Structure formats: structure tokens, C-alpha cells
Amino acid sequence: MQSNLAEPLVTRDLGAARIAYDKGGEEAAVLSRDAHTIAVNGMAVEQHEQSGSQLKGIVFGGLDGILTSFAIIAGSVGANLSPVAMLALGVSNVLADALSMGAGEFLSSRSYNAYVTKEREREAWELQNYPAGEIAEMVELFVARGMSREDAEVVIQRMAKYKDFFVDLMMTEELSLPVPSDTGAMDAFKDGFTMFCAFAFFGMLPLIGFVFAGIFYPEVTSEGLFMIACGVTSVCLLALGAFKAQFHDKQYLRSGLETLLLGGACAAVAYFVGQAVAGFTSTHALFAVPSMVEMGPR
């Protein structure tokens, strides 16, 4: 079983360490010390978030899904399309884009893992065939980062005794390529599936609001349905932005408002573009739809 520098070290209570950092001041030193000394059976409790890639898929997939469907609704309203056309365009685009995004995420993750694995094999081969050269490279790297040459040589020579560990170290320090875990293929599939689900789920929310409003309030105009879709989308964007802040800087309101403003800008662009296109086509005979009389019998 090879070592994996991409995996978190189980050496401390990471949640407590983050709290200590956020507090600052004299109290932070005490909290930080406690975070590094809390142990269970000789090992500290690590509360590291293991779902980094899944979080990325949820946030970016969800954001893309909401903006895609809402832009379609806004552009359709701007172009004076019927609610049926709006719904057909929205559902078909969301599902197609969700599949495309999910497949793209899976293929890119799998390709990246394959590339990193190949690079690791090359580094291991070089260490096997010319260890002195690889050790010298790492010494120079540590010296460039501020370590004295004497200390760097001692440290690197000691670490080079552990071949798998040293190869992983070369990957991260020399090539800046964290080594994927042994479950890389399954992780790539999970990334793609998460992206697909997030895009499809969040992308459907504005459409669901649009549809249900029309079902329960059939007298509502297209403009009214659009305003309801705006409200549903705004709530979703605020919630997604706040969710993102939970894993970042805890600035829930700011993150939610930033996400909402981004969505509003995208919708405004789509609306005015749809309105401009509708106005342009209405004045040109090329885009006129011929009537059944004009078309004549077949």
C-alpha cells in the first residue's frame, strides 16, 4: 500500500484548530495547543472534510444548473415565447447539460488521475535508476525554499530511505501533483455523478416553480410566472451561496448575495438578448412564419 500525501494526516482535531485560527489573539495559542493534543487511543481526532471534490461538484454544478434554466426562462420571456416552449426548452437543456457536465467531470477526473499515476511511475523509475540525481533535485528544491544546504541534505537523505514516501514527496514538491488515492476510478465516477445530480436538481428548481405556479394559479400571466420563477431562483441562489460559505469563510450573507447578484446578471443578459432577438426577427420577412394558406396543399 503506497503512501498518499493527498490524504489528510490524522494528527489533530482539525475543527478545533480552525476555531483557534479564527479567534486569534492570546486565546488562539491555547486553543491551538489543545487541538493538537486531544487524543483518542494515542491518535488525535481528525475532523477533516473528506468531500472536497463532491462539494465542488455540488456548488458549481448547482450554480450552473440554476443559471442555465433561469437564463432560458428569462430569455424566453424576453422573446415572448409561450410557457410550453419555455418549459420544453428548459427541461431539455437542463437534462442534456447535466449529462454533459457529469460526463465531462468524470472523464476529466479519470484522465487527470491517469496522468498523475503515469507521472508517478516515471518518478519511481527515475528514483530506481538514478537515485543520486533525484536526491540532488530535492536538495536544491529545499535550499531554494530557504533551508540550508547542510540541513537539506540530511533531511532528504533520511526521507529517501522510504521509497514510496519519497516518490510521493517528489510528486507534490517537484511537480505539484498530489497522488490520487487507490480508489481514483470510483472517485472520478462519484465526481461525475455528483455534478450530474447537482446540475439536474438545482436546474429544475426554477422550472418547477414556474410549472407549479401555472398549475395552482392558471390565471397568472407569463410575466407573473416569470416573477415567481425569479423568487424561487433567488431563494435557491442565496441558499447555495450560504452553503458554499460553510466550507470557506463563514460569510454566509456576503456569499449568498454574491451568488444572487451573479444569477441576476446572467438572467438580465438573457432577458435583454431574447428581447432584442425577438424585436429583430419581427421586422424581417426572412423570420416570418408562413400561414397554412401561404404554404398551400402538400
Q: What is the 3-state secondary structure (H, E, C) of 11-28?
A: CCCHHHHHHHHHHCHHHH
Looking at residue 176, its pLDDT comes to 84
Task: Give the model's confidence band at 21: pLDDT under 50 very low, under 70 low, under 90 confident, else very high.
Answer: low
What per-residue confidence (pLDDT) applies to 48? 43
The pTM (predicted TM-score) of the whole model is 0.67
Burial of 265 (0-12, 13-18, 19+ CB in 10 A): exposed
**Whole-number Cα distances in Å, 10 to 15, 99, 134, 201:** 12, 37, 29, 35
More confident residue, 262 or 24: 262
pLDDT tens-digit map of 141-171: 999 989 999 999 999 999 999 999 999 998 9
Question: CA-to-CA distance for 283 and 280, rounded, in angstroms?
Answer: 6
- DSSP secondary structure string for all residues of 256-269: HHHHHHHHHHHHHH
H-state helical runs in the chain: 14-23, 25-37, 52-78, 83-129, 131-144, 149-159, 163-174, 184-216, 222-246, 252-282, 292-295
Confidence (pLDDT) at 49: 43
Alpha-carbon Rg for the chain in angstroms: 27
Average pLDDT over residues 36-47: 47
More confident residue, 14 or 69: 69
Asked if residue 91 has pLDDT above 80, the reply is yes
pLDDT for res 50: 46
> What pLDDT shows up at residue 24?
60
User: pLDDT band at 3, cuts 50/70/90?
Assistant: very low
Which phi and psi angles does 181 have, rounded to 5°? -75, 175
Strand partners, 39: 44
Mean of the pLDDT values across residues 89-103?
A: 91
User: Which of these, 47, 59, 68, 66, lies nearest to 245 by C-alpha position?
Assistant: 59
Please check the confidence at residue 214 and state whether its pLDDT lies above 50: yes
Question: What's phi and psi for 16, nearest 5 deg?
Answer: -65, -35
- Region 109-114: mean pLDDT is 88
Distant-in-sequence, close-in-space partners of 186: CB < 8 Å, separation ≥ 6? none
Per-residue pLDDT band for 19 (boundaries 50, 70, 90) equals low
Q: How far apart are CA 76 and CA 223, in angstroms?
A: 11
CA 140 to chain centre: 35
Scan for cell 418547477, then name that residue. 208
Task: Answer whether residue 134 shows pLDDT above 60.
Answer: yes
